[in-house]
Amino acid sequence: MNKSISRFNIRVYALIIFKNNILLSRELIQNKLIYKFPGGGVELGEGFVDALQREAKEEMGQHLNHITHFYTTDFFQRSSFDSSEQLISVYFKASLSQHLNNRLKIPVKDQPVFEWKTLVDLNEEDLHFPIDKKVLNMIKLQ
């Protein structure tokens, strides 16, 4: 047990795959451009699917369809942004309800840009977060 951890940070992410491409979110976080799966934090009193739908509405302007659980973190992962937090990430496969249009060309704070990446060409080094890297490898093994 790691006693320097004082709280959990629970995150939900959408794995949106269409014709061997996967949707990634390019975001500006702490003045760094990163690639990650679309999603974000679960708020108090919110269920995981509700949080995922809220994030999809906030970031992509739409509702997700066909949501099924894919993976929940099964190892200890400290937050990249707060060393006192233990990260728990829940990933869901989902589909978009409509065509996705980016509002911006370059991400700004709290406004990501979405990009389709070919699964064959996407490598774990392209992703920023350790759990995302593990999930990408799991997807590729299917």
What digits encode the pLDDT tens for the residues 87-109? 999 999 999 998 887 665 666 67
Could you tell me if 23 and 114 are in contact, meaning their C-beta atoms sit under 8 angstroms apart? Answer: yes
At 25-71, the pLDDT tens digits run 998 888 888 999 999 999 999 999 999 999 999 999 999 999 999 99
Q: What is the mean pLDDT of residues 9-29?
A: 95
pLDDT at position 103, please?
Answer: 64
pLDDT at position 111, please?
Answer: 79
pLDDT at position 58, please?
Answer: 92
Q: What is the pTM of this model?
A: 0.92
pLDDT at position 3, please?
Answer: 73
What value, to the nearest 5°, has the Cα angle with vertex 123 and ends 122 and 128?
Answer: 105
pLDDT at position 78, please?
Answer: 94
- Rounded CA-CA distance 16/116 in Å is 9
Residues making up the chain, counted from first to last: 142
Top-level class of domain 7-141: alpha beta
What type of residue sits at position 103?
Answer: R
Q: What is the mean pLDDT of residues 1-15?
A: 91
- For the chain, the domains span 7-141
Q: What is the mean pLDDT of residues 110-131?
A: 92
Instruction: Find tokens 């709290």 and name the residue.
Output: 110
Q: What is the mean pLDDT of residues 10-29?
A: 94
